[in-house]
A and B are shown apart, each in its own frame.
Chain A
Amino acid sequence: MAMLSENEHPVKAFGWAARDSSGHLSPFKFSRRAIEEKDVTFKVLYCGICHSDLHNVKNEWGITSYPVIPGHEIVGVVTEVGTKVTKFKVGDKVGIGCMVGSCHSCANCKDNLENYCPKMILTYGTKYYDGTITHGGYSDIMVSDEHFVIKIPDNLPLDGGAPLLCAGITVYSPLKYYGLDKAGMHLGVVGLGGLGHMAVKFAKAMGLKVTIISTSPNKKEEAVDHLGADGFLVSRNIEEMQSAMDTMDGIIDTVSAVHALLPLIGLLKTNGKLVMVGAPEKPLELPVLPLLLGRKIVGGSGIGGIKETQEMIDFAAKHNIVADIEVIPMDYVNTAMERLLKADVKYRFVIDIANSLKPI
């Protein structure tokens, strides 16, 4: 398989891949396609580790095709542009998130909602137009259609900016779509991890009051003193939860484990919105009466389109929003995955690709 990947395309490339459902990552020689007229090639400098990468390498969703090079929070510097590229030039700082292709002709694509295109191509683990499998950002170079490349403003640090490309857009898009972006509103954020801490930062920048809802009391000081949250509720503390009932305009729920919705619905005011951005594998219990009595909703959201991702990056640059990260060398990635599983990171690992990914 390794030989096949190495010879699939003309441009030699190197990365780290998982070869089986143990999820163990190791050095991997492969190849990238030749640049076409609308493509951009860039040298990868940093890549964030998203929890989806962990799900994928371990085949937890049952869709993984090995070997897989994960990574969809990729930033770098343009090294070559195709003849018809208009948006980028060599030397530009750029990024790629979760998608590298879509059909460009359906209603969703035309509405700048490529993330909802039925033929959307993910940055890794999906068949590209030429039938080969896409490989992600735990690698030295990326070649992508310019449509899916995001311009990174000069003042945005690349390492802290990388996680915005998935975690950032995943929380920014629903804040906008569900109208939870108005100054003075009260937003709850369930779960304080990669997604949760980004939600706090964006919401504060939009002028909202933010309360974190967490199972871990020991995250309180961090949340309030460091992230700037206005309040902190321990979800198992019934008194705290009850005193906060009917106080929130919306809640962004980042928790992927199965958990109770009833207490969260109770925190919402009339017309309140509970937005799920984590995706538990099993259905959750939905108590209907509280939805009715308060005209409340439970909605979902998944990443965002390219136009909105660019808008989010520009907003982040304007408001100096970056992820809180722990930069690691490539060969720490397996340890990082183990720590990620235990949520032992504040709040995103970012691989220093440029300085630590060495070809074998």
Chain B
Amino acid sequence: MEEEAIIRKWEDLDIDVLVKIYQKIDIFDLTSGVAEICKTWHHAACDPMLWHTLDLSVMSSNYIRTPLEPYVYVDGPSDEKLTKILKISLNLSRGSIKTLIFNINLYVHDEQLTYTAERCPNLKRLVLPAWNRIKKTGICKAIKMWKDLESLTMPSIETPLYFMEEVSKNCKNFSELKIMGPCDIFLVNTLIRCVPNLKVLSLRCSVVYLDALILILDGLKKLNVLNISHCIIVDAPPPDATIKVVTKLDDSVLEKGSRLSEFLTCMDDECIMCQRTRADEGLLRWYRYEQGLWKQDEVKSLAV
């Protein structure tokens, strides 16, 4: 009788305590069976506290670079592993996920993205830095399901218009954007047209054209925070003149920037991030550097 009493106790453990314990195990352990131990443990594994954020920046795809689109090949088992973790996490999360983070070398494909979007209808923040295996139709389908999306971290894409139009149509509270790649006048025009109420924009560690920068400051009327730290600012006047790298922002630009609550710049030859951006010619090869470096941002809300 004494033994029976002892055995029953772990099932009767307070849900709060179980949740506390679950907070100490990583996503791999959380999805590898604690939810199947017994009913109480299953119930605790579904607690919203565990699922506000799903951080998959601890996972990487097993991939090789390829010369043709999509420029990466991901092996089967690696894809399956991601699918498994997604299925179990999304199942247990029961729609609680508000922030979803993918790793820079976690190459999600359309099916996985759609499956995920369907099960995170309340998503507010998405960090998806690698779109290699995602088609236009795939990302648009996903965006349509994220009506509450406020913050997005994405790579630069060739023709952003189709995508930003979907954001414009579906995400009425969209206010924060981080683009990990070059910024030209076409992109800025698209932003002004599609997300005129943008409050926060980060373009750090990329090439930013001077005319684009000026247009950002003039054209995005609701902008509060702009981060162009470690960027290579390029003045590209008419075709016959040579392209010039701007080493110092002139007063007119600084004056416009001063109207923002935060205008973050860093153009310093001694700065390691500035040096790296230069070495990588404006498109940082994150895989060359410390793991997790890509997650940093001088804007707190955009850092991972």
> Do chains A and B stick together as partners?
no
